Amino acid sequence: SQTIHQWPATLVQPVGSPLSLECTVEGTSNPNLYWYRQAAGRGLQLLFYSVGIGQISSEVPQNLSASRPQDRQFILSSKKLLLSDSGFYLCAWGRQGLGYGYTFGSGTRLTVV
């Protein structure tokens, strides 16, 4: 069966520090991978998605970047965190093609202080 792992679960980082959140998927190949940010009252905001190794699409210009070094690994990064980067970050994977839902990771609560 397919599983998705996301870590760390919580993270407190000072302003200006770098960030690296990792997400891996098991039990499937060539998944679509997604990074979302969940904010109270604002729902789920798509940040990045990837349909293959090295293929990253950005939905929202911001202080963050994403990379997909391996088929089932998706990394969210920042060189210098801002206070506004605080939030709950969710990784998700989905099958190629329509009609399938996402499977979400357990999320990372990031607090920038």
Partner 1 sequence: AQRVTQPEKLLSVFKGAPVELKCNYSYSGSPELFWYVQYSRQRLQLLLRHISRESIKGFTADLNKGETSFHLKKPFAQEEDSAMYYCALSGRNTGNQFYFGTGTSLTVIP
* Nearest to partner 1 of 57, 77 (CB atom): 57
The length of the chain in residues reads 113
Residue (14 or 42) nearer to partner 1, CB: 42
Give the whole-angstrom CA distance, residue 63 versus residue 81: 7
State the nearest-atom distance from the C-beta of 44 to partner 1, in Å: 4
Sequence letter at residue 48? F
Supply the minimum distance, in Å, between the C-beta of residue 79 and partner 1.
Answer: 26
- As measured in angstroms, the least distance from the Cβ of 72 to partner 1 is 17
Which tokens belong to 104? 């979400």
